[in-house]
Amino acid sequence: MIRAFALLVAAVALLAGSGHARAQGFPGFPGFQGGFDMREGGPNFSIGASNPIPRQTVRFESQYRPGTILIDTAERRLYLVLQNGVALRYGIGVGRDGFRWGGVHRISAKKEWPAWTPPSQMLARRPDLPRYMPGGIDNPLGARAMYLGSTLYRIHGSNEPETIGQAVSSGCFRMTNDDVTDLYSRVAVGTTVVVKN
């Protein structure tokens, strides 16, 4: 029994060191689809938190230029258009009923570990919310935020990864901290964001 266990541990260690195992994005391996990456987020990321909708490279034929972000609220997915008919597809949380919207905007600002000041419209609905919250792991905007034009909306991280794939926000688009950090590193201020409702 001990020998079988030792062989199992050795096999797992061998897979962990191989490039093939890493390319598959096994849960818990650093830097891959829900893993913990000290280089990206440091100790503020949730160790062991898994991504309910893993990031994938997919075929994506469209009229959009590479670098464009397309958000499909019905599908609850965000696509970053790449070259050669492919895109990176991320799972997102979207606005709940009555808070979904569509249109074309550009990323007007990017912030790491952003502070959060709930807008007056949200405070009117939820007077129990704090008036200001500094950036950090407990902040609902998560690790990164990309602001959409002059709207109140953002693409941002979340300290509630279980809400990815759900319709629960007040109009913003939530991603896991791992995914939003990845997207943030790939786009610039001025990036076009198409929201399809």
CATH number at 118 reads: 2.40.440.10
Q: How confident is the model at residue 46 (pLDDT cuts 50, 70, 90)?
A: very low
Compute φ and ψ for 30, nearest 5 degrees: -55, 135
Which range (10-14, 75-79, 146-150) has the least confidence? 10-14
The reply to whether 101 and 165 lie within a common domain is yes
The reply to whether 120 and 34 lie within a common domain is no
Mean per-residue pLDDT of the chain: 80
Let me know if 156 is a catalytic residue.
yes
Q: Which of 172, 175, 180, 193 is catalytic?
A: 172
The reply to whether 32 and 118 lie within a common domain is no
**What average pLDDT does this structure show over 51-64?**
93
β-strand partners of 194: 70, 104
Compute φ and ψ for 93, nearest 5 degrees: -100, 145
Residues in contact with 76: Cβ distance below 8 Å, sequence separation at least 6, in sequence order: 53, 91, 92, 93, 94, 165, 166, 167
**What average pLDDT does this structure show over 122-145?**
93
49 lies in a domain? no
pLDDT above 90 (res 172): yes
**What average pLDDT does this structure show over 57-65?**
95
Helix (H, G, I), strand (E, B) or coil at 2: helix
Report H helices in 1-53: 2-17, 19-23
The reply to whether 17 and 60 lie within a common domain is no
pLDDT above 60 (res 20): no
Q: Which of 77, 144, 156, 174 is catalytic?
A: 156
The reply to whether 15 and 99 lie within a common domain is no
Percent of the chain at pLDDT above 90?
68
d(CA 16, CA 21): 6
**What average pLDDT does this structure show over 5-18?**
38
Do 133 and 178 form a contact (C-beta atoms < 8 A)? no
The reply to whether 117 and 82 lie within a common domain is yes
Percent of the chain at pLDDT above 70?
75
Higher pLDDT, 39 or 156: 156
Counting the structural domains of the chain, the total is 2
The reply to whether 112 and 182 lie within a common domain is yes
The reply to whether 125 and 176 lie within a common domain is yes
Q: How confident is the model at residue 131 (pLDDT cuts 50, 70, 90)?
A: very high
Residue 192 sits in which domain range?
A: 56-196
The reply to whether 60 and 139 lie within a common domain is yes
51 lies in a domain? no
32 lies in a domain? yes
Let me know if 105 is a catalytic residue.
no
Q: How confident is the model at residue 52 (pLDDT cuts 50, 70, 90)?
A: confident
What is the distance, to the nearest Å, from the Cα of residue 2 to the centroid of all Cα atoms in its chain?
Answer: 41
CA dihedral 35, 40, 43, 49 (to 10 degrees): -20
CA dihedral 76, 82, 86, 91 (to 10 degrees): -20
The reply to whether 105 and 60 lie within a common domain is yes
